[in-house]
Structure 1
Amino acid sequence: MKRSIVLIVIVLVLAGAAVYQNKGKHNEALAASGDMLPKPGYTAPTLELPNLTDQVTAIGGKREKLLMVNFWASWCWPCEMEAPDMQALSEKYGDKLELYGINATSLDKERQAREFVTEQKLKFPILMDRDGKATDLYKVNTFPTTLLIDSNGIVRERIGGVISKSKWEAIIDKWIDVQEEQHTGT
């Protein structure tokens, strides 16, 4: 009995020491598990989806710019409200931000999605989630849902619903500044 208690105490002391040693390492990204949302601080899932001309585009992983991934559907009126702001953000930050719209095609009609893109005059790349795997992988259950992913492939922001263009600008500016500081080492 005494041996069991001593072993339990040793295990608890070692576990406490491990927690203490790793307490300050908040910059290291945690890998997203299947049960968790891809959320700030976690690695964004990587995937490949076809665009409107069926060319495959890779999402996630390391890249040179910030990545904004916007999940939407043509029947979603908040998505319609947000579309002009997404286009404006793409135009404003095109040299420092990649923006991809992912249509939840498995929950939408592709013809209507294509009409939406034309009506909204969207110029940024639109990807088609025909089998719903991207929506499932990113655990999207609200439209629109937008993620901002840094150049290391780490989710920095996850927004469900619509926020103003000025709020997006503040968020994007913040993460552009963070990335520039990381690259210059200041």
Structure 2
Amino acid sequence: MKKQLLLLIVVAVLVILAIIQPNGSNKEKTAKVGFQAPEFELSGFNGTSYSLSQLKGKPVLINFWASWCVPCRKEAPEFVRLYNKYKDKVEFYAVNTTSDDTIEGVLSFVEQYQLQFPVLLDEKGEVSKLYNVRSYPTTYFVDGKGAIVSINLGIVSPESLEKTIISTIETSKGDVS
């Protein structure tokens, strides 16, 4: 009886360790604060190809969204305002998870909110999976060295959004002025 109990405990411990142990093959692609942002390349709505590596040290805000997402619609005018204010200091990538959306929806959204920053199409949902996007909107802030400095899940206040953009710029350049 004692041997069976000991064997059961050992098996339980091994199962728990297997569950909580990070997947070794995914360590480099963990989209978490303090980690390097996973590299990706997507086509923009305009047909141009975009990637993180082409930014050459410029910080970037990566917003994952869908045209049917009500909070995304509430947030869009604020992104437009902040893009116009900070476009020389930080890049904005609006990643539409097209696998959960339609091209018609994207076009309507882009026209309605007059998005001037790159709108990228994640047609297979691979980048959204890479960044562990589970809800919309989800926004990643990446400094000029490629490290994720902040993640916003859901809609945030305009003040908080701008504060995070300024902080990301400061982390990258040391000064916003």
One fold, TM greater than 0.5?
A: yes
Deviation (angstroms), 1:37: 4.8
- Distance in 1 between the 2:84 and 2:162 partners? 12
Distance 1:121 1:156, change over 3 A: same
Percent of aligned positions that are identical: 34
- Distance in 2 between the 1:62 and 1:116 partners? 25
Deviation (angstroms), 1:181: 3.1
Q: Is 1:105 the equivalent of 2:98?
A: yes
Q: Residues 39 and 155 of structure 1 are in contact (CA less than 8 Å); yes or no, is this contact kept in structure 2?
A: yes
Deviation (angstroms), 1:170: 1.2
Report the equivalent of 2:133.
140
- Please state whether the residue corresponding to 2:26 is helix, strand or coil: coil
Distance 1:161 1:60, change over 3 A: farther
Report the equivalent of 2:44.
51
Unmatched segments (≥5 aa) in structure 2: 1-23
- Please state whether the residue corresponding to 1:64 is helix, strand or coil: coil
Deviation (angstroms), 1:55: 1.8
- Please state whether the residue corresponding to 1:152 is helix, strand or coil: coil
Deviation (angstroms), 1:117: 0.6
Deviation (angstroms), 1:62: 6.4
- Please state whether the residue corresponding to 1:49 is helix, strand or coil: strand
Residues 140-175 of structure 1 show CA distances to partners (whole Å, capped at 9, x for unaligned) of 011000000011110001111011111111112222
- Please state whether the residue corresponding to 1:124 is helix, strand or coil: coil
Q: Spell out structure 1 runs of 4+ moving beyond 3 A.
A: 34-37
Counterpart mapping for 1:1-186 below 5 A: 33=26, 37-59=30-52, 63-181=56-174
Q: Residues 69 and 102 of structure 1 are in contact (CA less than 8 Å); yes or no, is this contact kept in structure 2?
A: yes
- Please state whether the residue corresponding to 1:71 is helix, strand or coil: strand
TM-score, scaled relative to structure 1: 0.75
- Distance in 1 between the 2:25 and 2:85 partners? 31
Deviation (angstroms), 1:65: 1.7
- Please state whether the residue corresponding to 1:179 is helix, strand or coil: helix
TM-score, scaled relative to structure 2: 0.79
Unmatched segments (≥5 aa) in structure 1: 1-30
Q: Residues 62 and 152 of structure 1 are in contact (CA less than 8 Å); yes or no, is this contact kept in structure 2?
A: no
- Distance in 2 between the 1:133 and 1:36 partners? 12
Q: Residues 45 and 60 of structure 1 are in contact (CA less than 8 Å); yes or no, is this contact kept in structure 2?
A: no
- Aligned amino acid, residue 63 of structure 2: N
**Aligned residue-pair number:** 152
- Distance in 1 between the 2:57 and 2:174 partners? 14
